[in-house]
Amino acid sequence: MSQEHVRQDRVSPALPPVAPAVTAELVAALTPRLRKRLDAGIAKLAGRPAVRDGDIVRIAVDDSTDVELHAPGGTVTSADAVRCGCLLAPDCLHRAAAASAAPIAEPATEAATEAATAAHCEDVAAGAPALPDTERPERATPEQCAAARALHSAATAVLEAGTDGSGAVLQAELLRAAHTARLAGLPRAAATAVSVVTALRAARSADPAYRLADLVGALRDALSAAHRIPHAEGPELTELRGTVRQPYRPDGSLRLYGLFSEPVLTASGYAGAVTWTADAEGRLYQVSDVAPGGGGRAVGAADRAVRVGDTALTHRELSRAGLAVSGATVSPAGRLGAGAGVRAVRASGADWRAEPLDRLWTVPAAEQVARALTGGAGLLFLEVTLVGTLRDAAGDCLFADCAGIRLRLTAAHDHPALPHRDNLRLLAAARGSRLRIVARLTPAPHPRALLLATEHPTVPGTRVDAGLDRLQHADLPTAPAAPAPPAAAPTPQEAPVHLLRRRVQQAASGGRLVLSFSGNTAADVQRLSGHGLATAGDLLDELHAAAAERSRDVFGRLLPADTDRFAGAWLAAARYAEEVDRALCAAAWGA
């Protein structure tokens, strides 16, 4: 990737988040000539200083010209709030460039959601009847079908161009599709479009946290939603629509025990921390603090006060202590609300090896994985013996033995401000140590998870949050606590689904042209068929054919490629690879 691409889409943490509709409107207003210069304009602004003055952020374009972003409440919500002092304003390039360089605003913050649902929760708690849900049509409305088509068109254009070709103009089209979907009552589809733009910006800015799998997943979800919405009915349509807000329901009084905290740092410019807790029955609850910011906020959020009731606990303290909550409100995902009726006080915590937290580690790993693969929180509570470092295609990882399962533990985040990877390297030197850990499942053909928290290797009863606490060499045992398990025996040859997955990833990264060059796929198809993956072979053939085939008109001139056919072939291959990965993951864990 060229240096121009690295610079032109870098999101500045100093800029306020900008609503997707604002960016789309400003880019659409540009003339064709200015659109061609938009990426260069973003690159120029990326190197200019930005100064915050209350709700206004000023970017010095040159010695005599400033661009101002007015963000009352922290977010730019209208095109008029982006102003420029140059002679060509308001039709200048600078306004669109500033909006395109800023983080993407989320549709509604958690605080706004909680405030909007607090009164409803109190009414339900008092026995008042809930308002009836609005009647949903059995099929998508014409507006929703049109929004789905717009999303499909924008996502297909990104897939055609790849990350290098998906500059600010194509990103703005996706943001416009997201805005249209939200107005049509399709918040889930809108969120997938924004996720694609977020992944594209991370890829083009060389963000260390960027993963190609994130872009593939976002594109897959966007195209899948756009494809199914016009044909879906009943429960399927309801699921595809999604909800704008997480409904918070009253949950009475809770006695919670801190488990661990993890930092949050997104490519869209949001950062903070989430603390996980559990009640006496093992149900998980979260307390979060996420707002616009960068790596500094992600690191510092652990020492910020928890926003539940009147408690003065920080996230770091809560992860080791407990919480007694009355009038609790909880979202379906287990997130605790912070409404006016919630009361919370500090309580004693519990050790991971003592009740009631001990029961989390007594559930067999296979059962935990099955739960994670069917929509759970994705957390695994495992007891492992550290073996050492293992190098695979994704880089170095911590190799561990979990009741005979050879587990690869990787860093949850690669940002240099967070100690994930440094802690992994140090733990690899504590070979033979037997520790309880908390990890997040990563679907793969072999057991793999992201390390989130672990017991201290030398201090019993002490926990280490892998993304917030930094281990030192003095924390390691002077000698292995026990002989490390023997090296893993050679495993049977894995099903080569990677042959299909690799083509899916290449198309998302390099665009259709990467797969359009002539080549023989017969060997890959034969290998897939030999492992019982004949469908994967057919999908691989169709993917290459859709990428390479070009029709000619009556004069023999090449016609434009059939991008819809290519998008359909890519989506089928991506969905198939996803499902096979889930099946292989379950088999690897014995789930």
Residue-wise pLDDT for 183-242, tens only, equals 999 999 999 999 999 999 989 988 777 889 899 999 999 999 999 999 999 889 989 998
What average pLDDT score do residues 301-315 get? 83
Q: What is the pLDDT of residues 142-158, one digit of tens each?
A: 999 999 999 999 999 99
pTM of the model: 0.82
Closest CA relative to residue 412, chosen from 256, 209, 184: 209
Per-residue pLDDT at 483? 53
Per-residue pLDDT at 4? 41
CA atoms within 13 A on the CB side of 248: 28
- The amino acid that residue 121 corresponds to is C
Name the burial class of residue 41, with classes exposed (0-12), middle (13-18) and buried (19+) by CB atoms within 10 angstroms of its CB: buried
Q: What is the C-alpha separation between 219 and 155, in angstroms, rounded?
A: 7
In terms of DSSP bridges, do strands 395-402 and 405-411 run parallel, antiparallel, or are they unpaired? antiparallel
Q: How far is CA 363 from the centre of its chain?
A: 27
Instruction: Return the CATH fold of 363-475.
Output: OB fold (Dihydrolipoamide Acetyltransferase, E2P) (2.40.50)
Q: What is the C-alpha separation between 80 and 516, in angstroms, rounded?
A: 44
Triad 53, 54, 59: Cα angle to 5°: 35
Query: 382 pLDDT exceeds 80?
Result: yes
Query: 181 pLDDT exceeds 70?
Result: yes
Position 334 confidence tier, pLDDT thresholds 50, 70, 90: confident
Handedness of CA 21, 24, 26, 28 (dihedral sign): negative
Per-residue pLDDT at 433? 92
Query: 554 pLDDT exceeds 90?
Result: no
Q: What is the dihedral of CA 177, 181, 182, 183, to 10 degrees?
A: 100
Per-residue pLDDT at 3? 41
Q: Are 543 and 507 in contact (CB under 8 A)?
A: yes
**Residue that wins the pLDDT comparison between 328 and 339:** 328
Relative orientation angle of helices 20-28 and 168-183, to the nearest 10 degrees: 130
Q: What is the pLDDT of residues 497-534, one digit of tens each?
A: 889 999 999 999 999 999 887 667 888 888 998 888 99
Q: Are 188 and 225 in contact (CB under 8 A)?
A: yes
